[in-house]
């Protein structure tokens, strides 16, 4: 059973539908007691960093999420903004992140004459940087759907498990032990997203 965290921001329905499509049981909740019993946690997210952290703190979810990740060490996956929340901070705001991965979130910056637009939006191929059970059986044809203006930068290269090129390489998926994050949206990435979520369900 995958517990999808509802804190008011995120494509909850899309994630739930994709998990149902691959036959993985899941539930959406913001109830602390249900989260305490979770076997796996999925933290989605769309929007601004500070707004998301504020909602998590208002619901008193920070401590239970950190406990499940660091103490219970259950599989924990952040998607898009959910991945950025796993870092210690973001240039998008001033509030402290969950700090579950040694990384920071920074804004894309390009030269004025660059034809690259922000947000980075669309399909991109990914390259395996550090082998992980989350990305088992990935091939060079694997591509995912991205929508984001900020990117994660890991302190240690080994925490970066997938990389993508958009005006230079950046961390597209990260891992710290049992904690994982994807900057892209697996729930919008068809068969490639199905495989990633299936891999997560088997951890």
Looking at residue 9, its pLDDT comes to: 81
Looking at residue 86, its pLDDT comes to: 98
Classify residue 88 as exposed, middle or buried by CB count within 10 Å of its CB (0-12, 13-18, 19+). middle
Q: For residue 149, give both structure tokens.
A: 């203006």
Classify residue 147 as exposed, middle or buried by CB count within 10 Å of its CB (0-12, 13-18, 19+). middle
Tell me whether residue 187 is one of the annotated catalytic residues: yes
Looking at residue 185, its pLDDT comes to: 97
pTM higher than the cut 0.75? yes
Catalytic residue among 33, 58, 187, 190: 187
Catalytic residue among 80, 92, 148, 154: 80
Cα(16)–Cα(8) distance, integer angstroms: 15
Looking at residue 120, its pLDDT comes to: 95
Tell me whether residue 120 is one of the annotated catalytic residues: no
Catalytic residue among 120, 142, 148, 185: 185
Contacts of 80 (CB under 8 A, 6+ apart): 44, 45, 46, 147, 148, 182, 183, 184, 185
Classify residue 73 as exposed, middle or buried by CB count within 10 Å of its CB (0-12, 13-18, 19+). exposed
Tell me whether residue 80 is one of the annotated catalytic residues: yes
Q: Measuring CA to CA, how many Å separate 80 from each of 45, 146, 156?
A: 6, 8, 20
Looking at residue 10, its pLDDT comes to: 78
Question: pLDDT below 70 — which residues of the chain?
Answer: none
Domains by residue range for the chain, with CATH: 2-201 (3.40.50.880)
Contacts of 70 (CB under 8 A, 6+ apart): 100
């Amino acid at each position: 059973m995958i517990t999808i965290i509802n804190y008011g921001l995120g494509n909850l329905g899309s994630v739930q539908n994709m998990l149902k499509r691959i036959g993985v049981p899941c539930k959406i909740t913001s109830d602390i007691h249900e989260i305490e019993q979770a076997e796996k946690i999925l933290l989605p997210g769309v929007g601004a960093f500070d707004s998301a952290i504020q909602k998590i703190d208002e619901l008193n979810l920070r401590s239970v999420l950190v406990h499940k990740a660091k103490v219970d060490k259950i599989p924990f996956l952040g998607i898009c903004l959910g991945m950025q929340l796993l870092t210690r901070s973001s240039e998008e705001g001033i509030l402290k992140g969950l700090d579950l991965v040694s990384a920071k979130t920074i804004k894309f910056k390009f030269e004025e004459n660059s034809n690259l637009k922000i947000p980075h939006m669309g399909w991109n191929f990914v390259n395996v940087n550090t082998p992980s059970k989350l990305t088992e059986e990935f091939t060079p044809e694997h591509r995912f759907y991205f929508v984001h203006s900020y990117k994660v930068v890991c302190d240690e290269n080994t925490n970066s498990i997938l990389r993508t090129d958009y005006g230079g390489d950046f961390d597209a998926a990260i891992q710290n032990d049992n904690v994982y994050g994807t900057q892209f949206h697996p729930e919008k990435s068809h068969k490639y997203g199905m495989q990633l979520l299936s891999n997560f369900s088997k951890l």
